[in-house]
Each structure stands twice: as structure tokens, then as C-alpha cells.
Amino acid sequence: GAVVSQHPSWVICKSGTSVKIECRSLDFQATTMFWYRQFPKQSLMLMATSNEGSKATYEQGVEKDKFLINHASLTLSTLTVTSAHPEDSSFYICSARLPGYNEQFFGPGTRLTVL
Amino acid sequence: GDSVTQMEGPVTLSEEAFLTINCTYTATGYPSLFWYVQYPGEGLQLLLKATKADDKGSNKGFEATYRKETTSFHLEKGSVQVSDSAVYFCALSDPAGGSYIPTFGRGTSLIVHP
């Protein structure tokens, strides 16, 4: 149980286009999901906390107009990278907290490459 | 604030060698402690966890004991395999702040040679 999926697993796009990444909790409902960014050989950097039915909470230094987060249901959160540029190329990972437990489950990640 | 310090890698071992990856933490409350593993090109998988002092988490031959007196949660395995090559992240989650957002260490790369 407690499986989190992401789609797509990798995406290549042209500079200036927008890319949407989906994060789904497959067998539980998650009121809170998290989006991380990971640069090569580095740890995870929390970008934002996604709350179902309300606005996301962004970490300092993360542009909310650049990285749009929508958590429309208890099993789905989406991250849209708007007007992507090569510097946005990275590995994006989502996680979901199992309600009632102090534990998070991570998706397999999405590799974004912006040409 | 909360923090996690891991030994720097890469750690390079021969197959069947003993593994220790050190992890120490600072926290204001009583955190839960975790080890996650990340295989190349993949997301994080929970390897093991411990929720209170003296608890021992174990999974797939890996073990770690929550030591409150030394604020440590060192990861050990008696005999590593090539398939254990990955990056290992120590993390804590301190519910005292109410957010449950984990604090990660920088990760330690493990390379196991045949």
C-alpha cells in the first residue's frame, strides 16, 4: 500500500513551452502533497506544499507564478512549469503524506529536460 | 532548526564488506528518523524508520538504531551486494512543528564493486 505515481517519468520540451507533471496517490487519500526538486548529486529541495482545496505554500525563493501547483482532489496534485527554460531542467519528485502518520511516500520522479 | 548531517561519500566497498553510513541529527522535539534509498534515475524509497529512542529499524539486511543520547541513526549492513549501489538519505520528521515535512541529509553515495 501507500503508492505514489508520477507522470510522465521523463519529458523533453522546447524553451518557452509549459509542462505539466502529475502526482497521484494510488491507494490512499492525501490531503497534503509535496513537490521537490533535485539537482544532480544533490539532496532534495522542497519547492512547495500542496494542500487539497487551497493554495499551495511555496518555499522561499520558489517562484509561484513559474511553478503552478494545483491540488484539485485528494489523490492528485499537478505541477506546471510555465514558460520553461533550460535552467528549469531537473529531476522533480513529489511525495504524499499518509494521513495520521508521520511518514511520506515518494513518487518515482520526473526528469525534465528543456532544450 | 532541525538538521541532519551525513557522512560524505562516495563510500566505495567490495562485495560482502560491512557497511556503515553515519547520520547525526539535531531537533527541537522528538522526531521520527528515516533512511531512504535512491537508485539511479529513480525516486526515493523508504528503506527503514524508527519512531522513538532505542527503536531499531531494519529492512533488506540494513539496520539503524535510534540513539537519543548520541543523536544518531547510523545505517549498517553486514554484507553489501553490488545491487546495494545507490544514494542513501538520512531524514527526520519532527511533528512538533505540525508540518511533517522531512529534513534530509545531503545523501551518501554507495558504490559496491564485485
Task: Express each pLDDT in A15-28 by its tens digit.
Answer: 999 999 999 999 88
Residue of B nearest to A42 (CA): B106
Distance from C-alpha of A31 to C-alpha of A16, rounded to nearest angstrom = 32
What's the confidence (pLDDT) of residue A2? 81
Task: Measure CB to CB from residue B95 to each of A102, A105, A106 and give the nearest one.
Answer: A102
Closest CA to A91 of A45, A15, A39: A39
**How many Å lie between the alpha carbon of A13 and the closest alpha carbon of chain B?**
19
More confident residue, B53 or B96: B53
Cell 509549459 locates to A18
C-alpha cell at A77: 496534485
pLDDT single digits (tens) A44-81: 899 999 888 888 999 999 999 999 999 888 899 999 99
Please report which confidence band the pLDDT of residue B58 belongs to, taking 50, 70 and 90 as the band edges.
very high
Distance (Å, whole) CA A107 – CA A96: 8
- Residue A61: partners with Cβ closer than 8 Å, 6 or more residues away: none
Instruction: Answer with the residue of higher pLDDT: A12 or A30.
Output: A12
Contacting residues for A50 by C-beta, under 8 A, at least 6 apart? A32, A33, A34, A35, A56, A69, A70, A71, A77
Query: Closest by alpha carbon to A76, among A103, A101, A107, A104?
Result: A107
pLDDT value at B31 more than 80: yes
For residue A6, pLDDT beyond 80: yes
The count of C-alpha atoms lying within 13 angstroms of the C-alpha of A97, restricted to the half-sphere facing its C-beta, is 21
Bridge partners (DSSP) of residue A113 are A12
Q: Which residues in chain B have their CB less than 8 angstroms from residue A41's CB?
A: 107, 109
Mark which residues 47-86 of B lie under 8 Å from A by CB: 49, 51
CA distance A50 to A31: 8
Q: How large is the average pLDDT for residues A87-102?
A: 88
Q: Which residues are CB-neighbours of B8 under 8 A, at least 6 positions away?
A: B106, B108
